[in-house]
Amino acid sequence: MMPRQFTSYFKLISHSPEQTQRLGVSIGELALAGDIYLLVGSLGTGKTCLTQGIAWGLNIKEYTLSPSFVIMRELHGRLPLYHIDLYRLDHIEEIEELGLDDYLYGDGVCVVEWAEKGLSALPSEHLMIQINYLSDTERSFQLKPSGKRYREILGQLRHLSLDS
Ligand SMILES: Nc1ncnc2c1ncn2[C@@H]1O[C@H](COP(=O)(O)OP(=O)(O)OP(=O)(O)O)[C@@H](O)[C@H]1O
Ligand SMILES: [Mg+2]
């Protein structure tokens, strides 16, 4: 019999953009070189808002606008942040053609918006963050780890509260 993989999910609710940024800051503070964060969620759910928080948590002072027109933006803080947005990706082969592997397997922290568009070409070990729209101001965040490193992060985030 195959050993059963223990999967643990972590779900939390954000009641405002600021709370979403706060979740991002906590992730950014914990992030290590090589980490992969895959953001999945429909238009306007808060992927860029969360990324902004991650950037702040990495001590990046620049404002993280949605890269929409570029597939990759590189920002510099405690570690490099590679902010990838696959919204405009038409073919999965583009991930290789664009040389994104250099970033995905590089020395920085990768945050990928619209990760569902490129899942099969993205690293299999990652923290998936699935965002769902609940209401005008509320979003649910489901954190799903693949791999030891990401289960570790989940353990560190488990006691996080977004209310201040
Ligand atoms: N709890 C919340 N968390 C995050 N954003 C929220 C929340 N409540 C409302 N919002 C609003 O939702 C919008 C989220 O925009 P954002 O650009 O982060 O989404 P996105 O998922 O990156 O969109 P896109 O698919 O276009 O890249 C913002 O206008 C923000 O003010
Ligand atoms: Mg966005």
What percent of the chain shows pLDDT beyond 70? 91
Q: Count other C-beta atoms under 10 Å from residue 110's C-beta.
A: 25
Q: Is the pLDDT assigned to residue 4 strictly greater than 60?
A: no
Report pLDDT for 2. Answer: 54
Report pLDDT for 88. Answer: 87
> pLDDT tens, 55-68?
999 999 876 665 55
pLDDT confidence bin for 136, thresholds 50/70/90: very high
Report pLDDT for 91. Answer: 87
Report the run of H or E that residue 20 belongs to, with start and end. Answer: helix 17-30
Across the chain, which distance is largest between two alpha carbons, in Å?
51
* Pocket residue to mutate for ligand 1, from 48, 70, 141, most atoms within 8 A of Cβ: 48
Q: Which of 139, 146, 143 is nearest to 157 (CA)?
A: 143
Q: Is the pLDDT assigned to residue 138 strictly greater than 90?
A: yes
Quote the tokens at residue 29.
Answer: 């503070």
Ligand 1: residues with CB < 6 A are 14-17, 19-20, 41, 43-49, 66, 113, 137-139
Q: Is the pLDDT assigned to residue 69 strictly greater than 60?
A: yes
Q: Count other C-beta atoms under 10 Å from residue 58's C-beta.
A: 23
Mention every residue, 6+ apart, whose C-beta is less than 8 A from residue 131.
39, 40, 41, 45, 46, 47, 50, 139, 140, 141, 142
> pLDDT tens, 27-66?
999 999 999 999 999 999 999 999 999 999 999 987 666 5
Mention every residue, 6+ apart, whose C-beta is less than 8 A from residue 31.
37, 54, 57, 58, 79, 109
Residue 35 bridge partners (DSSP) = none
- Alpha-carbon radius of gyration of the chain: 15
Q: Which of 105, 147, 152, 103 is nearest to 126 (CA)?
A: 147
For residue 45, give the ligand 1 atom closest to its CA.
21
